Amino acid sequence: MEQMAEPVLQATGVSKYFPGAIALDEVDLRLYPGEVHALLGENGAGKSTLIKCLTGAYARDGGAILLEGVEIDPRDPLDSQRLGIGTVYQEVNLLPNLTVAENLFLGRQPTRFGFVDHRRMKRDSARILAEYGLEIDPGRLLSSFSIAVQQIVAIARAVEMSGKVLILDEPTASLDREEVELMFSVVRRLTARGLAVVFITHFLDQVFALCDRATILRNGRVVGSRLLREAGQTEIVTLMLGRQLEAATRTPHEAEPGEVLLSFAGFGRRGAIEPFDMTIRSGEVVGLAGLLGSGRSETCAAIFGAAPADRGEARLRGLPVRLGDPREAVGHGLAFCPEDRKIDGIVGDLSVRENIVLALQARQGWAKPISRARAQEIAEGYVKALDIRLAHLDMPIRLLSGGNQQKALLARWLATEPALLILDEPTRGIDVGAHAEILNLIERLRARGMALLVASSEMEELVACAGRVIVLRDRRQVEELTGADISPDAIVRAIAGEEEAA
């Protein structure tokens, strides 16, 4: 059937050059009506760049785009929106200073007598969002909602815009399972109407669950295009990486953990996380599992002092310690790699090198600057170790691909050689190859005696790396799994525990 249908959108020979890098080299892409097309590739392969070239956010340096057989040349995102191409960009969500309704309708507000009809906008927004199971007041500021809600609003906006093509660049990164399912059902409804959908993600299971076809990019070139029902996961991964991926399953923590590094008693923060007791030992990886909003990130933030605890006490190597703000925490050898790198982490205009040595410099104090040569050495070391793809260390970090920014952020905290490293969603937006690398890295760090606290929504990841998993539900620690008890099933059961008991 696909062979007969004409492609909705056909891009041929799309190229894009950046100073010092060829981001896209003669890329072809065909999108068929009613199909979900996965765009796959490592971090920095050029996926986001391809999208931006298609929608006119970047001016392409070559190539042609046909929409329903007619050549188009979108000059800016507005152009492509008008042509019926709706897009969720990777790095951009929406405008936090506008209301939900204004965000949904920006650029195509309903008007009455030439004036924006706010009432209708709100009414329509409520209707649209209800389809996504969101019963929220669209008249409130976007910033007053959680990241997940914002992400759904962004998807809803793109869907509303997409008359012909819907493009989703890593839309599921901050959604939990149910929300992902919801998004899938929306996408399936759209494809049933004959829309063509592009879906970019690093979650291969989502690719196989939703997509019909995949185009794989490597270093800015198309290395293959496959019908997914004819291809296996290994084949796809091998295409992406250009090599075979060693199996990442292993039994963590053969070794006994060392002595207690940090212990908490009645530690908590009102409105964020219920008081909990916990110990973390050197040479141990503690996992934090739970649904979105269950208090995973809040636990991390409380320990690091970013949203400091207001009750209970913490002890560091047996001595009482105050963790009132991040600076104190860093001083005590803690490090925290947050989940939302755009808000909490990267300093976009600073170079990659400066971003990597930032935390180390902050800990040393600004009076003792790190020499440029040493900064270069440190940065080079981590760029190599984490395989961060960049043109040179002087480029502003915002020009890196999403996943590479995430790796650079990780490098920043590794550079401080902390006693406890807190990782909140360490592999979000990171490709399969690097995913395995990061799990290996966690194991290596643990073996060197570092303590790690890893919060993740991916059970498999926790199973692969943690020696102990603490399960959170409704901002409360509900269960602790150790050793052989840790399995995805056990975690899911613990998360869902209450409903089963009832």
Partner 1 sequence: MRHSPRLPLYVTLATFLLALIACVAQFPAMLSWRVAANLLTDNAFLGIVAVGMTFVILSGGIDLSVGSVIAFTSVFLAVLIRDAGIHPLAAFALALGVSTLFGAAMGAIIHHLEMPPFIVTLAGMFLMRGMAYVLSTDSVPVTHEFYGWLQSLYWRAPDGGRFRLIGFLMILTFLLAMLALHRTRFGQNVYALGGSAQTAQLMGVPLARTTIGIYAVSGGLAGFAGIVYSLYTSAGYSLATVGVELDAIAAVVIGGTLLSGGAGFVLGTFFGVLIMGLIQTYIVFDGQLSSWWTKIVIGGLLFAFILLQKVLGWATTARIRPATASAARS
Q: Which of residues 362-381 bind partner 1 (CB under 8 A)?
A: 362-363
Q: Does 306 bind ligand ATP (CB under 6 A)?
A: no
Q: Does 124 bind partner 1 (CB under 8 A)?
A: no
Which string of x and - marks every residue 32-71 that binds partner 1 (by CB under 8 A)? -------------------------x--------------
- Of 197 and 434, the one with the shorter C-beta distance to ligand ATP is 434
Smaller CB distance to partner 1: residue 54 or 491? 54
Distances from the Cα of 315 to the Cα of 208, 280, 380, angstroms: 46, 10, 36
Give every strand in the sheet of 62-67, ordered side by side.
21-31, 9-18, 62-67, 70-72
- Report the candidate in 209, 208, 213 with the shortest Cα–Cα distance to residue 197: 213
Q: Does 400 bind ligand ATP (CB under 6 A)?
A: yes
If one asks whether residue 21 binds ligand ATP (CB under 6 A), the answer comes out as: yes
Q: Which residues of 275-299 are buried (b: 16+ CB within 10 A; e: fewer)?
A: bbebbbbbbbbbbbbbbbebbbbbb
Asked if 107 is part of the footprint of partner 1 (rule: CB under 8 A), the reply reads yes
Report yes or no: 430 and 43 within 8 Å, Cβ to Cβ.
yes
Backbone angles phi, psi at 396, to 5 degrees: -60, 140
- To the nearest 10 degrees (0 to 180), the angle between helices 177-192 and 147-161 is 0
Give whichever of 54 and 334 is closer to ligand ATP, judged by the CB atom.
54
Residues of this chain, 312-331, that bind partner 1 according to CB under 8 A: 325-327, 330
CB of 167 to ligand ATP, least distance (A): 12
Whole-number minimum distance, CB 308 to Mg ion, in Å? 34
- In the bound state, the residue with its beta carbon closest to ligand ATP is 403
Name the amino acid, one letter, at 22: I
> If phi over 0 gives left and psi between -120 and 50 gives alpha, with beta otherwise, what is residue 41?
left
Residues near 135 by beta carbon (within 8 Å), at least 6 away in sequence: 129
Out of 73, 76, 178, 377, the only residue in the binding site for partner 1 (CB under 8 A) is 76
172 scored as a contact of ligand ATP (CB under 6 A)? no
Smallest separation (angstroms) from partner 1 to the CB of 396 = 13
What CA–CA distances, in Å, run from 448 to 80, 282, 377, 451, 464?
51, 9, 21, 9, 18
Phi then psi for residue 195, to 5 deg, are -75, 155
Stretch that binds partner 1, among 36-44, 190-198, 312-320, 335-343 (CB under 8 A): 335-343
Query: What span, in angstroms and rounded, lies between the C-alpha atoms of 125 and 132?
Result: 11
45 in contact with ligand ATP (CB under 6 A):
yes
Closer to ligand ATP by Cβ: residue 120 or 221: 221
Q: Which residues have CB under 8 Å from 469's CB, separation 6+?
A: 286, 287, 288, 289, 462, 463, 480, 481, 482, 486, 491
Single out the residue of 31, 159, 280, 306 in contact with partner 1 (rule: CB under 8 A). 306
Q: How many CB atoms lie within 10 A of CB 484?
A: 8
- Round to whole Å and give the CA distance between 242 and 474: 43
Among 10, 90, 93, 282, binds ligand ATP (CB under 6 A): 90
Site of interaction with partner 1 (CB under 8 A) = 57, 76-78, 81, 87, 89, 92-98, 102-103, 106-107, 109, 111, 114-116, 118, 140-141, 143-147, 157, 272, 297-298, 301-302, 304, 306-307, 325-327, 330, 336, 338, 340, 343-345, 347, 358-359, 362-363, 412
Would you tell me which residues interact with ligand ATP (CB under 6 A)?
A: 18, 21, 23, 41, 43-49, 90, 389-390, 399-404, 431
